[in-house]
Structure 1
Amino acid sequence: MILAIDAGNSRVKWGWHDGADWASIATVPLIEFAASSDHINPFSITHGDPERIVIANVAGEGAHQLLVNWTSIFDAEPLWLHGEAERCGVRSRYDRPEQLGPDRWAALVAARAVHTGPCLVVNAGTATTIDMLSGDGVFLGGAISPGIDLMRFVLHEHTGRLPLQEGSYRDAPRNTLDAIETGCRHAQAGAVERMHRAMGGNPLCIVSGGAARSLLELLRLPSRYIENLVLDGLARIALSERAVTR
């Protein structure tokens, strides 16, 4: 069994993979995860001792220490994923591959496994990442922007009167809440569409993350939603490690 952990900026998601499919997946908000005591280890409840543990952590040092403590109950030594020059048929052109976020790298690996043509790999969460993957598996580069919730928050924090409440998307907004919601969603979709044009051709958009569905509603591009893209990539990486050591 593989234990894959995706510690993101807003939530922690983990899953138990049996080598063929997910046996279970769980998600908690990061603040709830950080507040848990040492007596409530979320990874020890089910499935026993994993053969492999693979972790993508972008939540900082505090989350790292919690993950170290809670995975230490198992015999397996965790693989702390970082960006790499090459893995599972994906090659990186990042200036310094090791600086690429592990969640982005895992998502690229997963995308390559499900689609062998060119694609945009979009993860819409606290930040929205838009990464270009060529048809021969080369990561060409990508963009990072604030996610839709962060856009709303920044508007509220740095203006005198804009409220921090969710509105509705409208073609022609006629109130402030709807104007904010519509503007933020246009910014998200517009960034994806510009990257799509920059890539050329007609690449598939593979979209994941907590805000993926609202983004997909506006995209007029060939798209596919994959719910657990980062976890899927982590599991594939763990399986590749297992194949090497056998």
Structure 2
Amino acid sequence: MILCIDAGNTRLKWGLHDRSRWLAKGVVAHEGIATLALPAPVQRVVACNVAGNAVAGQIEALARSLAAPLEWFVSSAACCGVTNGYGRPEQLGADRWAALIGARGLHAGPALVVMAGTATTVDALGADGRFLGGLILPGLELMRRTLARNTASLPEARGRYQELPTNTDDAIESGALHATLGAIERMAKAACRSTSAGFRVLLSGGAAEALAPHLDLPLRRIDDLVLEGLSRVAISSS
């Protein structure tokens, strides 16, 4: 069994894979890592961590308690049919790299890989598997909180999306969504300049549900895209 761990900025996702399918998945707060209950013995742990050293230490302690070797997933120049287009491949976030690898395993054509979490990343993946480049912008919740924290009169809004908002809460909610949707749509145009055959937006992350209804692009929702990439890497190296 392979335990795949995606330690993000606000929580940890995990999945137990038997090299053919997922047996179980779950989500825990960072402080809940030590009490993670698994339904089967683990032979390997493959982890991606963008949450800092303290969380890394908790994952290492978990691996020791499971008596399973721990492999830290890091960005590289190429992996599992995906080529890293960064000038310095190691600078690409490991979570983005894992998501691109997961996307390539699930979709063979050109794609825009959108991870909508604490931050939103929008990464272009060519039909040949080359990562062409991408964007990082604040996630929807972070946009809302930043406005409330750094302005004197704007609230931490809980409005609804409207094309033409007529109250402040809706204006803030719609502004965050419009900004994110606009970034996705502009990147889609850039990614489709050479070819649009088979193009898809592959959308994952906690804010995917808020974005999906408003995207007028070929779309596929994929849960836990980072875990998909980690399982693909683990299986390919076993």
Q: 1:100 & 1:47 partners in 2: Cα distance?
A: 33
One-letter code aligned to 2:147:
L
Q: 1:100 & 1:54 partners in 2: Cα distance?
A: 18
Indicate the residue corresponding to 2:39 in structure 1.
46
Structure 1, 2-11 or 65-74: larger mean CA deviation: 65-74
Q: What TM-score do the two structures reach when normalised by structure 2?
A: 0.95
Which of 230, 233, 237 is 1:237 aligned to? 233
Give how far 1:74 is off.
2.6
Unaligned runs of 5+ in 1: none
Does the residue aligned with 1:116 lie in a helix, a strand or coil?
coil
Which of 50, 60, 72 is 2:64 aligned to? 72
Does structure 2 conserve the Cα–Cα contact (< 8 Å) formed by 1:112 and 1:137? Answer: yes
1:22 equivalenced with 2:13 (yes/no): no
Which of 155, 173, 180 is 1:163 aligned to? 155
1:174 equivalenced with 2:166 (yes/no): yes
Within-5 A mapping of 1:58-69: 58-69=50-61
Indicate the residue corresponding to 1:12 in structure 2.
12
Q: What TM-score do the two structures reach when normalised by structure 1?
A: 0.92
Give how far 1:41 is off.
2.5
Which of 37, 40, 48 is 1:56 aligned to? 48
Does the residue aligned with 1:217 lie in a helix, a strand or coil?
helix
Measured on the aligned residues, the alpha-carbon RMSD in Å equals 1.3
Flag as ranges the 4+ runs of structure 1 deviating above 3 A: none
Say how many residue pairs are matched. Answer: 234
Within-5 A mapping of 1:91-240: 91-199=83-191, 200=193, 201-202=195-196, 203-240=199-236
